Amino acid sequence: MKFDGKSALITGASRGIGRAIAVEFAKRGADVALVGRDMAALEETAGLCADSRPGAVAHVFRGDVTDQASVEEVVAETVKRFGRIDCAIANAGQSIDSLLLRLKAETIDQLLNVNLKSAFYLCGAVAKPMMKQRSGSIVLVTSIVGMMGNAGQAAYAASKAGLIGLCKSLAKELGSRNIRVNAVAPGLIETAMTEKMPEGAREFLVKQAALGRAGRPEDVSGAVAFLCSDAAGYITGQTLVVDGGVLM
Q: Are 28 and 226 in contact (CB under 8 A)?
A: no
Which backbone phi and psi does 54 adopt, to 5 degrees? -60, 130
Position 107, amino acid = T
Q: Are 49 and 58 in contact (CB under 8 A)?
A: yes
Three-class secondary structure of residue 140 per DSSP: strand
240 has which bridge partners? Answer: 184
Count Cβ atoms within 10 A of the Cβ of residue 25 and give its class: 0-12 exposed, 13-18 middle, 19 or more buried.
Answer: buried
Position 118, amino acid = S
Give the strand order in the sheet containing 179-186. Answer: 58-62, 31-36, 7-11, 87-90, 136-141, 179-186, 239-242
Active-site residue among 156, 179, 223, 241? Answer: 156
* 234 annotated active-site: no
What amino acid positions are annotated as catalytic residues?
156
